[in-house]
Amino acid sequence: MEREILHVDVNNAFLSWLAVYKLECGEKLDIRTIPSIIGGDEKQRHGIVLAKSNLAKQFGIKTGEPLYSARKKCPTIKIYESNFKVYRKYSDMLYKLLLEYSYKVERFSIDECFVDMTEFLNGRRLIDVAYEISKRVKEELKFTVNIGVAHNKLLAKMASDFQKPDRVHTLYEKEIPRKMWTLPISELFMVGRRTLPKLYNMNVKTIEDLAKVDKNLLIKKFGKFGKTMWEYANGIDESEVVYTYQKPKCVGNSTTVSQDINDIEKIEEVLLALTEHTTYRLRKIKMLCNVVSVQLRTSEFKNYSHQRKLDFSTNSTKEIFNAAKQLVRQLYKGEPIRLIGIRVDNLCEEDEKQISIFENNDTKKQEKLDKVVDLIKDKYGYETITRAGDMKHTKNINRKD
């Protein structure tokens, strides 16, 4: 089975995250829209440019140059000190969002992650998941990312470095000659400044040049790194996404509908599709929930949410949907709705389930039915079987399993 890998890279992370933080704290000015940089303390006459806005870039300001040099190029430049507490906050928010798609998430650095989606697509295309993540990050976290889509980590990372910002790029094996080989050798991952002059002396100027050099010659000249360089130039990378698995504290799903809905029955149809996807994932990780929450967002971006504690722990689609439906009926005020969401919380392992007097034979039958439906989905694809009320919406719902 071919691997399905994403590389998610935050655009201009330090400056973007500080901008979002300031806006959330009530400031009116978005520092991304003015000449601005992140650096040290200018009063102490030390520090370098760590990040810059696009307008600062237009003044010729470069990452790594001294602050006094940047000030000379743009006397009105705004300089902000680094705030790693803020950076960690938004890095964690991105990481948690990605965990909604796969538990195989590797934090490669504070502002970039690899996501192994191989076992979690369930009939979806990887490119569609990438666009969904990009949209959610922009709408929910208020910054942008570049996402590389490929069959291994190397190609995914190379793809995410293509045109920026706020882009999704693929780099599959058949695209290597057109998209990667034409790049200068300095663009190849892991090729540093010390190696470049040696490659130039070998008349290696592009990634294609390196890909066509005899591998044994590279090994003789560079040792094991020569073999790695040759493999990377040819798009070969067998490294795994390194992750630490933790059971999630909640599972949820939401969708922005293509057209505003002001009919509660249609809202419930979308809610059923969302519940189906959420409970399917809940059962896959062998967990039960005790709390159900729903969210509605109006066309005017007003948010309504409500939650309910269940009478017993469950991962039954029917039980959870019934609870969610009641919550929606309590929340809905007749306004046009643009976003619908459901989340289940207070999770516990299946083997921790306690017997409840509220459970009955119908509940047990539903649990058996859910398991049969899941088996069919796993074997033949997620869309092969669905509930009647779910049929009109299931293909348009953004699954996160």
Q: Considering 100, 112, 268, 276, which one is annotated as catalytic?
A: 112
Place of tokens 């159900």: 292
Q: In what helix (H) or strand (E) does residue 287 lie, and over which residues does it extend?
A: strand 287-298
**Cβ contact 253:398 at 8 Å:** yes
- Closest to 94 in 3D by CA, of 8, 31, 4, 7: 8
Task: Assign 3-class secondary structure to 212-241.
Answer: CCCHHHHHHHHCHHHHHHHHHHCCCCCCCC
**Cβ contact 77:59 at 8 Å:** yes
269 is catalytic: no
Cis peptide before 197 (omega within 30 of 0): no
Distance CA 112, CA 17 (A): 13
Provide the residue type at 121 as one letter.
L
The distance of Cα 203 from the centroid of its chain, to the nearest Å, equals: 39
What does DSSP say about strands 287-298 and 348-349: parallel, antiparallel, or unpaired? antiparallel
Distance CA 156, CA 149 (A): 5
Distance CA 93, CA 141 (A): 8
- Closest to 4 in 3D by CA, of 167, 164, 129: 129
- Closest to 162 in 3D by CA, of 143, 184, 179: 179
Distance CA 389, CA 272 (A): 7
Q: Active-site residues: which are they?
A: 112
